[in-house]
Amino acid sequence: MKKIEDIALVIQARLLSQRCPRKMVRPFANSTLLDIAIEKVLNSNVLLKENIYVTVHEQELIDIASKYNVHIFKRSKKSAMSEGSPMTELYEWWNKIPCKNVIKLNACCILLDTKTIDSFTEAYMKTNSRGLFGVIEKRNYIWNKNGDLITNRPDNKATMNTKKAGTIYEAGHCLYAGKMSDIGKGIWMGEFKKKNDPELYIVPEKETFDIDYEWQFNIAEILYKNKYKIV
């Protein structure tokens, strides 16, 4: 059982998106993606407010985070420009935030509910696994690059009915959890070589809508406004 005192919540952001420029600070439903993400975790009934960190480099992002009672970890320019390797460069806070474990939230998954964040946190506290990864549960037919069907199909004579397809799990890219010390070893959540390393946590698919492109930004704003009755 992990202690909540040992878990940091990290929101990491930057302004270098090329597919959807400046998405974190652009007007979005009378707010911004970063504002909404911070407010969402501050409304948590599980996370400790003193363990919430926003890791940013650019001044515009620092200015937004400064409006809230959260820790601001000022990333280096090198970290903000990193494409993920080495991991300790991208997550350079791994040995500077005084917590054993970390949950990272993707601020671009704007439909993610605080209740889901809380239930994910509780699941991470209870599990003996070192990592937890938010995934989507699906029933569909999937082939590998060689054209081999890798989804279990119990009846080869049946039509391509998804109700009869085997269950698969797709990365949700919304919630991640792991040990700080593992990041120092180049491991994020787990080694992905055996079951429950990391453990999978099912997130409602609609909450994993991720804003990577301009069209997704526009659709997400419509969905968000409709969900929260924003005019």
The pLDDT of residue 156 is 67
Tell me which of 155 and 201 has the higher pLDDT.
201
| Burial class of 125 by CB neighbour count within 10 A (0 to 12, 13 to 18, 19+) | middle
Q: What CATH code would you report for 4-134+171-225?
A: 3.90.550.10
Cα–Cα distance measured from residue 99 to residue 179, given in angstroms and rounded to the nearest whole number: 9
Are 188 and 87 a contacting pair, CB within 8 Å? yes
For residues 50-69, average pLDDT = 98
Question: What share of the chain has pLDDT > 90, as a percent?
Answer: 89
pLDDT tens digit sequence for 168-180: 999 999 999 999 9
Residue 136: name the closest of 202, 210, 196 by CA. Answer: 202
pLDDT tens digit sequence for 114-151: 999 999 999 999 999 999 999 999 999 999 999 999 88
Backbone angles phi, psi at 83, to 5 degrees: -100, 10
Q: What is the dihedral of CA 125, 131, 136, 141, to 10 degrees?
A: -140
Confidence of residue 154 (pLDDT cuts 50, 70, 90): confident
The pLDDT of residue 166 is 86
Ordered by start, the domain boundaries in the chain are: 4-134+171-225
> What residue type is assigned to position 133 of the chain?
F
Which strands make up the sheet holding 52-56, listed edge to edge?
Answer: 71-74, 52-56, 7-12, 101-105, 167-179, 132-139, 199-202
Per-residue burial over 79-104, b if 16 or more Cβ lie within 10 Å, else e, is bbebeeeebbebbbbbeebebebbbb
Tell me which of 35 and 153 has the higher pLDDT.
35
Residue 11 has pLDDT above 70, yes or no: yes
Confidence of residue 164 (pLDDT cuts 50, 70, 90): confident
The pLDDT of residue 151 is 87
Measured in residues, the chain has a length of 231
The pLDDT of residue 159 is 76
- Which are the contacts of 22, defined by CB distance < 8 A and separation ≥ 6? 15
